[in-house]
Amino acid sequence: MTDISELIADMKQKRDELKLQLHLASKEAEGEWEDLTNQWDKFLSRAQLEKSGDEIGEAAKDLGMKMKDAYERLRKASD
């Protein structure tokens, strides 16, 4: 009977650990999303200040790469 009790206790511990990891991952994803949103807003405001096309293009490229990387991290974290 102790084997079953130990198994149940072990499974409960693993369940709690996974629940915590999921919670932390969602908070991390939320923070990363907030950062990307702020960068997007900054990009839009810069684009409206009549910067040269090259400057806007470079900023868009940088932001696009950051968003792509973040999306991949979030997608992998949710798998």
Q: Domain for residue 11, yes or no?
A: no
Q: Domain for residue 56, yes or no?
A: yes
Distances (CA, A) of 25 to 14, 30, 34, 75, 79: 16, 8, 14, 11, 12
Q: Domain for residue 40, yes or no?
A: yes
Q: Domain for residue 8, yes or no?
A: no
Q: How confident is the model at residue 37 (pLDDT cuts 50, 70, 90)?
A: confident
Q: Domain for residue 19, yes or no?
A: no
Range of the domain at 68: 25-79
How many domains does one find in the chain? 1
pLDDT at 52: 64
CA 33, CA 38: separation in Å to the nearest integer?
Answer: 9
Q: Domain for residue 58, yes or no?
A: yes
Q: Domain for residue 73, yes or no?
A: yes
Report the predicted TM-score, pTM, of the whole model to 2 decimal places.
0.48
